[in-house]
Structure 1
Amino acid sequence: MTRSLLPFIALALCAGCASQRLAGADLDRVRRPAFISRIEDGAGPRSFVFREDSAYGDKLKKLEPVEADRRLTVKLQQAVTRFEISERLRVNTLTQLPREAPWTYTVDPARVASVLESFLVEEVPANAPDYDLVTPLGADTIVEFVVQEYGMRSKKGHAGAFLRGYGRMFTLDGRSEVWRHPFEVDQVESGAEHLDPFKVGKNPDLFRQALTTLLDQVALEFVKDLTPKDRRGGPTVAAPPGPAAPDAATPTFAEPPKPSDPELPPGELPDPDP
């Protein structure tokens, strides 16, 4: 399946995933929220750079685009773990929420991770957890962030990172959903600076930096959604202290043959342009 079909599939999937604004009255009823952040099975990282953009053909030479994408995917996997992605989204959202109820009464994330058996493992479980396990911790509401797809893509020689998923809030008693925010952030579509896939092949941390930017952008969107203006609210709690951010001449001899292109090392992409 090519990525050209993905927008239509996403449209069909999102028909039942429309945004739902969080009402202040609904947030006022929350007493003890628990945050869960996870990545769906097969979400990524994925590379759609070379298969869907012919701009890199000359650079790849004999290397097939499918193989080039496979090699780039391996590099993306080295850049950042699934756990780092899910945790950054959770932590950056939670730490930017106002110091007021119910956010000051959030269930300890270590206890949540422990009961969901994700505390001692690097990878967040891909499948949806058993939310009822969180009830004994005193939680009455779940705030869940889910990453459905992430990686790199390219269009007309302009590459970048992308990230897609959703955030939602629902009550444990009855599973009533009171907030949903689908997100899709794409550096190619937004016109961000070109993320050279060949440079990423040599320095995968460049992808981690790009993805971090997208995660922080989504976290800001979540914070805005989770602080509705129409609520009664609770007493403000002081924030804990923190650290202070062509030649005219015709030759008379035959031109020597061009040397053959050197073979790429196994698993590597071509070097970036100087």
Structure 2
Amino acid sequence: MKPTLLVLAAGMGSRFGGLKQIAPVGPSGETLLDYSVFDAIRAGFGRVVFVIRRDFEEVFRAQVGAKYDGRIDVGYAFQAMDDLPPGFGVPSWRAKPWGTGHATWCARGEVREPFAVINADDFYGADAFRKLTGFLTAASEGEAALVGFKLSRTLSENGTVSRGMCEVSADGWLRDVVEHTKIAAAEVGRGEGKKYSGDETVSMNCWGFLPGFFDALEGRLTAFLRRDETYAEGSQDEFYLPAAVAALVGRGGLRVRAFTADSDWFGITYPADKPGVVAAIRELVTRGEYPGVLF
């Protein structure tokens, strides 16, 4: 059974100020998402499911989903504030979406095969998808995968970043993911005054799961909603996928194989990051790793 690529895209409308402003980075106007779908197809994925919001479904289908017709089966799941486990409702004060863990859980009715989860606006590289396909075709129930990246390959020269630092056992299994915030490029490297070596493995939300993960994720979502400090009046806490995975690992409910990608991660954290991303993509095309026109 070919795996499915689950793309978390419900935040695209707000982050980019409208889908028309998704940044083109490829030589023919390709977006970072286009490269992920292209890499997934050639790695052996058979379907892509986009988690989006209902309010921009029509424009997303027309501007994004339609370009993949005939190349891969396309499906949609919808993140809605009121899509919650039985017994829970949306508090009157809640304004923010419930987070990436909730977005993933909202796809439970659309995904019935092994699947990967990625962000819509990140570049992970062909090696990440090959590693996910290899894992998902041989994984056992109760196992999952993380494809991480070396910290030094995920920084921005234009500002600080937040990264989930991965603690990995000697035999390659994830022990924990701990969020580090405000990491500056100047803090990374060798020598005096450096806080990080740059060789640390960090999570960029690139995961592989089996369908049974949805039940485990629902258990963590229910626990999140039951916490007094979360469901208390005024709270805008989010249910993040890495935190849910780390909690399952810590309780012995999930084993996560940790891989490190042999490639750079690209993303546009700050507007000034775009020229560097464009240049990096151009270099990959020049080396023949991608065609000049993807779709």
TM-score over 0.5 (shorter chain)? no
Give TM-score scaled by structure 2 length: 0.23
Instruction: Give the number of the structure whose residues are more often strand, by fraction.
Output: 2
Q: Which has the larger radius of gyration?
A: 1
Give TM-score scaled by structure 1 length: 0.25
